[in-house]
Amino acid sequence: MPLSTDQQAEIDQARDGTQPTRRAVVPALEEILYQALPALDHGFVRVVDYMGDDAAVVQAARVSYGRGTKKVSEDRGLINYLMRHRHTTPFEMCEIKYHVKLPIFVARQWIRHRTANVNEYSGRYSILDNEFYVPRPEHLAAQSKANRQGRESVLAGKEAERVFDILKKDAELVYEHYLEMLNEGEDGAPLDPERSGLARELARMNLSLGFYTQWYWKTNLHNLMHFLSLRADAHAQYEIRVYADLMVDTLKRWTPICHDAFLEYRMGGASLSKTGLAAVKRMIAGEKVEQKSSGLNPREWRELMAVLGLG
What does the alpha-carbon distance between residue 188 and residue 164 come to, in Å, rounded to a whole number? Answer: 29
Q: How many CB atoms lie within 10 A of CB 39?
A: 23
Residue 246's closest CA among 266, 261, 224?
224
Between the CA atoms of 242, 247, 249 and 255, what dihedral angle is there, to the nearest 10 degrees? -160
143: amino acid identity, one letter: Q
What number of other Cβ atoms are within 10 A of residue 150's Cβ?
Answer: 12
Q: Compute the distance between CA of residue 168 and CA of residue 261 in angstroms, rounded to an integer.
A: 43
Beta bridge partners of 47: 98
> Which of these, 254, 258, 255, lies nearest to 31 by C-alpha position?
254
Contact 67, 24 (CB under 8 A): yes
Instruction: Compute the C-alpha angle 177/43/54, nearest 5°.
Output: 145
Rounded Cα–Cα distance for residues 92 and 56 (Å) = 10
- Please tell me the total number of residues recorded for the chain in this structure: 311
Annotated catalytic residue, options 46, 76, 231, 266? 231
Question: Minimal CA–CA distance to 52: which of 79, 21, 91?
Answer: 91
> What DSSP string describes 73-89?
HHHHHHHHHHHHTT--G
Query: Rounded CA gap, 225 and 219, in Å?
Result: 10
Residue type, 72: V
In whole angstroms, give the CA distance from residue 80 to residue 16: 36
Assess whether 302 carries a catalytic annotation: no
Q: Which residues are catalytic?
A: 231
